[in-house]
């Protein structure tokens, strides 16, 4: 199980009526199928936090080689609203 944190595009957040920073857990059945890809497609950046750590799954640079800035991630995590 893991948690996903998304930083939405400002326009997408306003259009969807969501805050800019949202998170969801994979224990939520809605987000295990279509919902997760729908939300991630509208995000500028997306992080995954699981028992092995935190990593990007979507970023402007290469998500596999871009290190996660932990200070920035914690700020995003604190600002995130669960959906």
**At which residue do the structure tokens 């893991």 appear?**
2
Average pLDDT over residues 66-70: 94
Residue pair 57/64 in contact (Cβ under 8 Å)? The answer is: no
Residue 40 confidence (pLDDT): 85
- What is the reported pTM? 0.86
List, in sequence order, every residue forming a beta bridge with 46; answer none if it has no partner.
6, 58
Q: List the beta strands (DSSP E) in the chain.
A: 3-8, 21-25, 43-50, 53-58, 81-82
Cα 22 to Cα 80: distance, rounded to the nearest angstrom: 5
Question: Could you report the per-residue pLDDT of 26-51, keeping only the tens digit for each?
Answer: 776 666 556 677 888 889 999 999 99
């Amino acid at each position: 199980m893991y948690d996903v944190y998304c930083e939405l595009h400002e326009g997408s957040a306003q259009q969807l009526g969501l805050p800019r920073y949202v998170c969801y857990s994979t224990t939520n059945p809605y987000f295990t199928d279509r919902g997760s890809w729908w939300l991630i497609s509208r995000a500028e950046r997306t992080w995954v936090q699981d028992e092995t750590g935190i990593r990007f799954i979507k970023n402007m640079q290469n998500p596999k080689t871009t290190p996660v800035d932990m200070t920035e991630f914690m700020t995003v995590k604190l600002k995130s609203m669960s959906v």
